[in-house]
Amino acid sequence: MANVVVIGAQWGDEGKGKITDLLSKSADVVVRYQGGVNAGHTVVVKDRTFKLHLIPSGILYPETECIIGSGTVIDPQVLIGELDQLETLGVSANNLFISQTAHVTMPYHRMLDNASEERRGTHKIGTTKRGIGPTYSDKSERMGIRILDLMEADGLRELLEWTIPYKNEILQKFYGLDPLDPHAVIEEYLGYADRLRPHVVDSSLKIYDAIQKRRNILFEGAQGTLLDLDHGTYPYVTSSNPIAGGACVGAGVGPTAIDRVIGVAKAYTTRVGEGPFPTEICGGIGEVLCDRGAEFGTTTGRQRRCGWFDAVIGRYAVRINGMDCLAITKLDVLDELEEIKVCVAYEIDGTRCHDFPSSARQFARCQPIYETLPGWKQSTEDCRTLEDLPPQALNYLKFLAELMDVPIALVSLGASRDQTIIVEDPIHGPKRALLDANGTPVQV
């Protein structure tokens, strides 16, 4: 039995959806523990593509229970749209459960998010404008609406008959926007409640029962380490804690329940939205990576900024998350390159630095120090074992593992489930596995 947390080791968009889907085959329960519809993941199964924002990708396995934990914020309209999508594709959602204490994204949250971002002007932080930040703000201010509130019509009316006029005053007086109709919003959300009611549970209790029965649990985070509210590139971050520690709070379990942490990182680096990005490549190879990697956001469709692999933020992610092993995704995107650069350190104001700086201003002054490795100039898409990979590709993976001081357990070479090399099963495998100089797995 193992309870595993899957986290993003960069700025999100690392391919966690595919890795979570792959690992869900060995999991009895998958728990989404934070974030909202600002996250998105794409899973390709044979000739079908699933784009999900709230529902864990484990939903594609009929025997796997999927739980949206209390640390998430839920937009009911989007969630119901995902349920409809799954139904259309012939996938049952009977095994989906929603935390009764998860907070709800309301129309005024989306309006405030959009208006606030526009008001920032040149100081924009790159929000998805999906209302996530304002939802978490209301949660902190203790004026949020929870799923359990949706289930009680009289209670919901009482809450919103006060909250909506309060929000309307801000929307009108500060942003010059039209007010919301409280009656219309209340009736709309009561309609959502009827659809979601069969899925609502005490999620912490359900997860605890699974732990007591020694079932395999996969805790799935959204976004990535560098977008963490406390430990990311603040203020260009999300409004929750995607790091491994956030799994305990967002799922409602103690830290002793977690057995392993697997990080997911691309074979290069991407970032969407604003903020410093030391290894960013503007034009040229950056465009090649974008085109070959189809680097456009699942949620917003925005083009992602692309750059070389950054081992400084990689080591930071290992430290912050207590990472046991790593999944490297999109290695195949590098197949056509003559040479590949890896950032091994930064130069900050003339001083070499191996550690991630906490200050955004200091981070913006970081200049990458690169080491250059030869490319392999051949396709890896059909490789299914380490031995199938070109020697240069094996050397690249080994170099990344050594720089980050963490073993590589999985290598993804495309969007489909079967385009994966499994060095070690992070759920059922041994505690650690490493690639030796020849790319052969060595158990330690």
Structural tokens at position 10: 């960069």
Q: Which residues pair with 34 in a beta bridge?
A: none
For 189, the 3-state DSSP assignment is helix
| Number of CB atoms found within 10 A of residue 426's CB | 26
Pairwise CA distance, residues 203 & 2, whole Å: 19
Catalytic residue among 28, 41, 103, 149: 41
Pairwise CA distance, residues 305 & 318, whole Å: 23
Cα-based distances in Å from 89 to 43, 207, 296? 13, 28, 23
Cα–Cα nearest to 275, from 8, 10, 6? 10
Pairwise CA distance, residues 66 & 95, whole Å: 6
Catalytic-residue membership of 41 = yes
Structural tokens at position 290: 């974008």
Cα–Cα nearest to 97, from 234, 248, 241, 201? 201
**DSSP labels, 197-254:** GGGEE-HHHHHHHHHHTT--EEEE--S-GGG-TTTSSTTSS-SS--STHHHHHHHT--
Task: Give the dihedral sign, CA 55/68/31/327.
Answer: positive
- Pairing status of strand 29-32 against strand 65-68: parallel
331 with 384: CB under 8 angstroms? Answer: no
For 283, the 3-state DSSP assignment is coil
Count of residues for the chain?
444
Q: How many Cα atoms are found within 13 Å in the side-chain-facing hemisphere of 25?
A: 10
User: Hunting for tokens 């939903």 — which residue is that?
Assistant: 59
Catalytic-residue membership of 13 = yes
Catalytic residue among 13, 113, 138, 310: 13
Pairwise CA distance, residues 396 & 388, whole Å: 14
Pairwise CA distance, residues 45 & 282, whole Å: 33
- Pairing status of strand 73-74 against strand 351-353: unpaired
Active site residues: 13, 41
